[in-house]
Structure 1
């Protein structure tokens, strides 16, 4: 039996041989109902790519702070929007995993929602906005306020992998410096920073030494989050898709931010500030400008009055998930989900009270 359809007929054949009507958009969409992403591999990436990413991750874990190259694949979003983090996360996810995505502290951003949806559709995993329920957490520019455990992996999206690029644009020269542990130019950069500002005034991407060997760029996390890298129970994986590099900080690894004896490392401070929603004073706060409910009035030249829409600046927790919990229970600690208390987890926790009152950032 021969197919008598002509090129003018409003139908088309897909790669699988299924006839799809093309006379209307609705007809095409109806024909795809139930198919989902069945044509893709599990977790979107092909198995060879996932094996390569896992091998690079294992090598990065074995050599903490060392940048391991890998063949970064094209992803369904532009490079610079988390392609490295997505590849690392999808390579680590399994059918029984629970996945969380954070975009600068928020779970509701478009980027975070789209990455969650990609994982749901291709890996058939559960997703959550609760940090304590997730096994794999992908984040951009923040480390959650709640303490991570040894059963969790934090994947950080990285735009620039080498901290030495601040002082020398030559990657070849910087690789030689890493090989010889020659970080003199970075120390000079920090000294010049002190001369100019009176303190080390680096707001993000603060250079840190990992296991007393490699200088690492911790991604654009604020200084508030840097102490959380030291001696943590969880695994940190840093993935850069555009630069095709992966590096890691294994559990219980020494991570020390560079500083001088007379100019110690300090975190951002928020004097007399608290989250306007939950009242927290021990979390990383951001400024939020909102239009005032009672606009001020100004007097015009003719003697009349005109309404002046003014804005009010308030502080809010950057970690929206933990802020929601604090709104329900203002006394809930950052280690509430653990079977022990007083866990050291950055500023505001028992062993870091002194650090939490440190210097201001940019």
Structure 2
């Protein structure tokens, strides 16, 4: 006897409860909304928060893209795509511009998102004040009082110790001039993409049981001091050894043949699409 499976894994009651949390999160940008995180067929810490959001809002007409640190073919991305596809039958794609729903771990795609797209980010730790305050009760009170001196102190201590802020990823942001928010462990390079984004950005932390959001066209400002302004990772003078792109977030690699340092687009689908479009011969000649 074949067991009946609900569309998108969850029963309708579970989906409605998660959608209500999403609606509240959209209504209060940057605010962490508690929700009853469900048990999933993957371990907590492997994207259950983002996956629960995706399964709760996906429809039969959607086209899904899943990436893990810029790659479509990683174990995490492939496993999530398989689960969603087997329980919904939706179309899958690797092209950012073709997707209506994008679930991502640690990256925002290089292709600018549009108003008819939703980006879901997987979050391990949603509380930006956790490093300075262990109590959930206290952090809730600090958010309600708009008291973020702890976040500023954390950045100040980094400057005193290293001469600059040392948050390579998950650099806190100020959302809608009200809440300080953890943007998920995206690189600093991706923080500006959240500001006035045309797409709705939803963030889910399954283990911590929190959902929060950045609605379209919302102001998002990375925390920084006037004399130590926020800066992103610089790849000045470097280019992707495959497609030749320069203005993207890149991985630093070692060429196995020469032992020299080379750079490559972190967003693999962006790189492959660009390479197919312009041709490898043209790339090699332009950097000869």
* TM-score by shorter chain over 0.5: yes
Residue 75 of structure 1 is matched in structure 2 by: 40
Runs of 4+ in 1 over 3 A off after TM superposition: none
Select the structure of larger CA radius of gyration.
1
Q: Is 1:167–1:189's contact at 8 Å kept on the other side of the alignment?
A: yes
Give 1:319's match in structure 2, choosing from 267, 270, 276.
267
Q: How does 1:184-333 map to 2 (within 5 A)?
A: 184-292=149-257, 311-330=259-278
- What SS does the corresponding residue of 2:147 show, helix, strand or coil? coil
Q: How does 1:151-162 map to 2 (within 5 A)?
A: 151-162=116-127
TM-aligned CA deviation for residue 59 of structure 1: 0.3
- What SS does the corresponding residue of 1:72 show, helix, strand or coil? coil
Q: Deviations over 1:68-103 (max 9, x none)?
A: 011001101100000011110011110111011001
Residue 61 of structure 2 is matched in structure 1 by: 96
Q: Is 1:280–1:330's contact at 8 Å kept on the other side of the alignment?
A: no
Q: What is the TM-score of this pair, normalised by structure 2?
A: 0.94
Give 2:15's match in structure 1, choosing from 40, 45, 50.
50
Q: Is 1:279–1:330's contact at 8 Å kept on the other side of the alignment?
A: no
TM-aligned CA deviation for residue 330 of structure 1: 4.5
Q: Partners in 2 of 1:205 and 1:237 — Cα distance?
A: 15
Structure 2, unaligned runs of 5 or more: 280-288
2:70 paired with 1:122: no
- What SS does the corresponding residue of 2:83 show, helix, strand or coil? helix
Q: Which structure is richer in relative contact order (CA contacts within 8 A, separation 6 or more)?
A: 2
Q: Partners in 2 of 1:261 and 1:60 — Cα distance?
A: 30
TM-aligned CA deviation for residue 268 of structure 1: 0.3
- What SS does the corresponding residue of 2:157 show, helix, strand or coil? helix
Alpha-carbon RMSD: 1.3
Q: Partners in 2 of 1:186 and 1:122 — Cα distance?
A: 41
- What SS does the corresponding residue of 2:85 show, helix, strand or coil? helix
Q: Partners in 1 of 2:240 and 2:106 — Cα distance?
A: 20
Q: What is the TM-score of this pair, normalised by structure 1?
A: 0.75
Q: Partners in 1 of 2:38 and 2:219 — Cα distance?
A: 32
Q: Partners in 1 of 2:164 and 2:79 — Cα distance?
A: 40
Q: 1:73 to 1:144 in 2, by over 3 A?
A: same
TM-aligned CA deviation for residue 289 of structure 1: 2.5
Q: When the two structures are aligned, how many residues end up with a matched partner?
A: 279
Q: Partners in 1 of 2:274 and 2:218 — Cα distance?
A: 30
- What SS does the corresponding residue of 1:263 show, helix, strand or coil? coil
TM-aligned CA deviation for residue 188 of structure 1: 1.4
Structure 1, unaligned runs of 5 or more: 1-17, 19-34, 294-310, 332-362
